[in-house]
Amino acid sequence: MATIIISVVVFLMVVLLLVALLLFAKAKLSPSGKVKITVNGERVIETDAGGTLLSTLGNNKIFLPSACGGGGTCAMCECQVHSGGGEILPTEKPYFSRKHIAENYRLGCQVKVKQDMEVEIPAEIFGIKKWDCEVISNYNVATFIKAFTVKLPEGENLDFQAGGYIQVDVPEITVDFAKDINIEPEPSDPLGPDKFKADWDRFGLWSLKMVNTEPCFRAYSMANHPAEGNIVMLTIRIATPPWDREKNNWMDVNPGICSSFVFSRKVGDVVTISGPYGEFFIKETDSEMIYIGGGAGMAPMRSHLFHLFHTLKTGRKVTYWYGGRSRKELFYEEDFRQIEREFPNFKFYIVLSEPEESDNWKEKKTIDDDGDGFLGFVHNAVIEHQLKVHEAPEDIEFYFCGPPMMNQAVIKMTDDWGIPPENVAFDDFGG
């Protein structure tokens, strides 16, 4: 009996000793206490250690861009860390040249705040602000896409260039698709409030639930152009889990956190955004322009084209090609037809990949034909009906945004046709 008691006591002592060692190691190795971050040699931030540089700066109203929400995949939160950041991590090295590494460039989301630091960030970052905005509309414009519009607080204005983007904050939240999401189109839509319901029923989307356990943010391109005042308009596609072919159902994976959050918002709700960010801007030249869009990639296309024609009244030759599955997936069509009527230097063409029988789609065989538009993939239509008949396609500026496969196809197209890199610009966030 005594042997058993002694063994238990020894075991407990060993456990307590190990716990004490772990607590001691944590106290020594984990950053704690206050540290100072000197920004651009001027502003000094006193803050708690332990967070990432990205989040720490954000908590102090310095908002580095981050399209991936701090996941280390977009490489947009770059800054220079001149002291206190430690060695560059293997996760960061692929995003920087040797020259940039020598100049102390780092990714803010990968740098831990452990001690006093000296950092340098671009001056334009100080123009980025954060607002609590009111939702003023949130209608489905396509089966899986919403046009989400918020207004800034009274007296506030978002000073941005067409093609810019904002970041949407997502709190801890659960979104039950069946209870929290409304997919009705605008009340004026002739197909009525159930326009998209059959597809959502068919794919079983109502069974999905999104659970977000910690605050995060995501980047979205703006569809509004600068002259539209103090609103922010986004076109956002719901991000579903991967499909399990064996089970013929959605995989047990969280749906898109921010897209689910946005889809669940109602008029009058408050959503926090920050911005403006961006680099997908209109080049100030006189060159001919081709825009290619698909899906939610409509957003920066609308921003660019509305600015070009409603504000600048441009005389540049501009063609916009938009690809969709069927008529039901088209939106803002009449807006671009109106620009086409007012400006002879603008042409708008639609390409459907899978028109429905009820669409009564009349295919154009050439650009000058009567008809509704073309059939197939949008990049193939651009090749067949514009590039092959153009005298100097290498002189055209290309702007595009859409689903990943479309973007990849257009990149290959511009490469195959010898378009110089400086004439190619695309937004990787809208698809």
Question: If the chain, 431 residues long, is cut into consecutive pieces of 10 residues, what is the mean pLDDT of each piece?
Answer: 64 69 55 86 92 93 85 89 95 94 95 96 87 98 98 94 96 98 96 96 97 94 95 97 91 96 98 94 98 97 98 98 97 98 98 96 93 97 97 97 96 97 86 44
pTM score = 0.84
Predicted local distance difference test score (pLDDT) of residue 219: 94
At residue 7, φ and ψ (nearest 5 deg) are -60, -45
Cα–Cα distance, 380 to 228 (Å, whole number): 34
Residue 373 is classified by DSSP as B
Return the domain boundaries, the chain: 34-126, 128-277, 289-426
Nearest to 132 by CA among 156, 97, 102: 156
Quickly count helices (H) and strands (E) in the chain: 10, 21
Which residue type is seen at 331?
F
Q: CB under 8 Å to 218, separation ≥6 — which residues?
A: 67, 69, 167, 168, 170, 257, 258, 259
Task: Report the CATH number of the 128-277 domain.
Answer: 2.40.30.10
Handedness of CA 323, 328, 334, 335 (dihedral sign): negative
Does 34-126 match 128-277 in CATH topology?
Answer: no
Measured CA angle at 240 (ends 237, 243), to 5 deg: 140
Predicted local distance difference test score (pLDDT) of residue 430: 44
Please determine, looking at this structure, whether the domain spanning 34-126 carries the CATH number 3.55.30.10: no
Predicted local distance difference test score (pLDDT) of residue 127: 85
Query: Are 429 and 67 contacting, i.e. CB atoms less than 8 angstroms apart?
Result: yes
Q: CB under 8 Å to 37, separation ≥6 — which residues?
A: 44, 45, 47, 53, 56, 57, 84, 113, 116, 117, 118, 119
Q: Report DSSP letters for 68-135, one per residue.
A: TSSSSSS---EEEEEESS-SPPTTTGGGS-HHHHHTTEEETTT-B--S-EEEE--GGGGG-EEEEEEE
Task: Report the CATH number of the 289-426 domain.
Answer: 3.40.50.80
Predicted local distance difference test score (pLDDT) of residue 429: 61
Cα–Cα distance, 38 to 40 (Å, whole number): 7
Query: Are 374 and 368 contacting, i.e. CB atoms less than 8 angstroms apart?
Result: no
